[in-house]
Chains A and B, each alone.
Chain A
């Protein structure tokens, strides 16, 4: 029974001093409400039970409003109020309100639990070899309840390519994030990138390193019954990696004052084209910024 109900009872049986009695009881109720102290849990951690201290006596209603929940239940004042691990899973600010006639509230912060997961974002999925700052990774540390763990943590980044020693980089999280940026390697192939936290939480990603732009072109040609067949030698980037199929090579034939061009894709390292020309021609090739040699083919 709360003091507010007592006031209603007395008001119905009002004496000639009813107003004064009512006033006194109201003051008493106010005094009672002011005694309704709450003590916040000490350094609560997400996913762990905690206790809320109350003073006074009698029943009251507890409201707990947190980042991901809101609950209401009846409690007994003067006792420690248990807050379950489930109620405190989300890190952040909670407001506990206890109402018994009047309401009193206290706010407290729940901090994240220990790290349990690393979210690892790596870009790009394909990177040309030999490019500065081509690969980057961002690691975010979370506890098991998806709270961002904000205390500084050491994250180890490991970059491994086939046939070469791993490269390690260490970074400390700041506000839950650690990152790195690095150049791509010199050989085409998969680059495995891992982020590990305390050695047991590991996230792996693969970056496919592909050949860069063609570095130089060498072409050869010969006249056949169908025309002049020209082809490149295997097209490679400056690190010696064969360029991907589909890389376009442009062949240009100059015969007198006439110039004609044909585009041909690289297929199994080589680009081929047939040029129809009867007189003597000079044929050259280009792909990206790479220029090839010139080939002179005599007339029929």
Chain B
């Protein structure tokens, strides 16, 4: 019995550690993609770059530093996130997006491959803090419409717009 409790304690401790440090989980479906088919290499690139972008979005909003956003977000998405970081900094706020799970659906891939539209059903633990005081905690499921375009060496996020539903 004691061994079972110890095992449970160790396991729960480990899972907690994983949860705190885990990178965003991203899966991609191309079943609805069109008119252009999404090549396997492009699929891998999008998953990699989207995961990295959300990881850095979390870093930027935790640390109130826009440096982590550079090169990953462009256009309106960059403007919005920079605005969010500046607003947080001025208000003494911070946000954390922990335990992220993103389910991506490609809904449009341009004939020439220069823009891709995705629907992201994202789940995360969101915490908003004022200094050290936690103001808001929730496990949120949020839907995003995402526009990505190919950059020099990666896919970048041009639009990241949350919606009530798809």
Contacts and interface: CB of A to CB of B under 8 A. Distances in A.
B141 to A, nearest CB: 11
Contacts of A123: 111-112, 114
A175 B142 CA distance: 17
A92 interface: yes
B19 interface: no
A33 to B, nearest CB: 13
B87 A71 contact: yes
A175 B107 contact: yes
B65 to A, nearest CB: 14
Contact of A92 (B92, B114, B115, B161): B161
Contact of B84 (A67, A147, A177, A181): A67
A169 interface: no
A103 B136 CA distance: 7
A67 B108 contact: no
Most buried by A among B35, B80, B145: B80
Contacts of A99: 130, 135
Interface residues of B, number: 38
Interface residues of A, number: 37
Contact of A90 (B80, B88, B147, B163): B80
A176 B145 contact: yes
Given A67-B84, A68-B83, A69-B83, A147 B136 contact: no
Contacts of B163: 91-92, 109, 150
Interface string A77-94: 000000000000011110
B148 interface: no
Contact of A95 (B79, B108, B119, B136): B136
B110 interface: yes
A interface majority secondary structure = strand
Contacts of B107: 174-175
Contacts of B80: 67-68, 90
Given A175-B119, A179-B110, 10 more contacts: A65-B84, A70-B95, A91-B161, A99-B135, A103-B136, A133-B111, A146-B75, A146-B76, A150-B145, A181-B111
Interface of A: 63, 65-72, 90-93, 95, 97, 99, 103, 105, 109, 111, 121, 123-124, 133, 136, 138, 140, 146-148, 150, 174-177, 179, 181
Interface of B: 35, 75-76, 79-81, 83-84, 87-88, 90-93, 95, 107-108, 110-112, 114-115, 117, 119, 128, 130, 135-136, 138, 142, 145, 147, 159-164
Q: Which 8 A-B pairs have the closest CB atoms?
A: A70-B87, A68-B80, A72-B91, A92-B162, A136-B111, A146-B76, A68-B83, A123-B112
26 contacts: A63-B128, A65-B95, A67-B161, A67-B162, A69-B84, A70-B84, A72-B91, A91-B162, A97-B136, A103-B136, A109-B162, A109-B163, A111-B164, A123-B111, A123-B112, A123-B114, A136-B111, A136-B112, A138-B110, A140-B147, A148-B159, A150-B145, A174-B107, A175-B119, A179-B108, A179-B110
